[in-house]
Amino acid sequence: MELDLLSIAAHPDDTELTCGGTVIKMAEAGYKVGALDLTAGETGTRGNAALREREAAEAAKVMGLVHRENLHLPDAGVEDRREYKLKIAQRIRALRPRTVILPYWDGRHPDHYTAGRIGYEACFLAGLARLSLEGRPHRPLKIIYSTLYVPAVTPTFVVDITPQLNKKLKAILCYSSQFSSPKDMQNLFPARADLRERVASLARHFGLMIGVRYGEPFVTREPAQVEDVVNMPVRSI
Residue 89 belongs to a domain with what CATH number? 3.40.50.10320
Residue 228 lies in a domain: no
Cα torsion 10, 92, 28, 227: sign: positive
Residue 86 lies in a domain: yes
CB atoms within 10 A of CB 226: 8
What is the pLDDT, as a whole number, of residue 44? 74
Residue 231 lies in a domain: no
Residue 154 lies in a domain: yes
Average pLDDT, whole number, for the chain?
93
Residue 232 lies in a domain: no
Taking only the tens place, the pLDDT of each residue in 44-100 is 767 788 999 999 999 999 999 999 999 999 999 999 999 999 999 999 999 999 999
What is the pLDDT, as a whole number, of residue 71? 98
Q: What percent of the chain has pLDDT over 70?
A: 95
Taking only the tens place, the pLDDT of each residue in 95-124 is 999 999 999 999 999 999 999 999 999 999
Rounded-to-integer distance, Cα 123 and Cα 97, Å:
10
Number of structural domains (the chain) is: 1
Rounded-to-integer distance, Cα 78 and Cα 96, Å:
23
Domain of residue 12: give its range: 5-219
User: Stretch 175-202: mean pLDDT, rounded?
Assistant: 75
Residue 158 lies in a domain: yes
Residue 68 lies in a domain: yes
What is the pLDDT, as a whole number, of residue 182? 55
What 3-state class would DSSP assign to 117? helix
pLDDT of 150 over the 80 cut: yes
pLDDT of 185 over the 80 cut: no
Residue 224 lies in a domain: no
User: Stretch 207-214: mean pLDDT, rounded?
Assistant: 97
Question: Quick check: 5 and 97 in contact, CB under 8 A?
Answer: yes
What is the pLDDT, as a whole number, of residue 195? 87
What is the pLDDT, as a whole number, of residue 186? 53
Rounded-to-integer distance, Cα 12 and Cα 171, Å:
11
Query: What 3 state SS string does 207-223 have?
Result: HHHCCCCCEEEEECCCC
One-letter amino acid for residue 133 of the chain = L
- The runs of H, that is alpha helices, within 64-103 are 82-95
Q: What is the pTM of this model?
A: 0.94
pLDDT of 167 over the 80 cut: yes
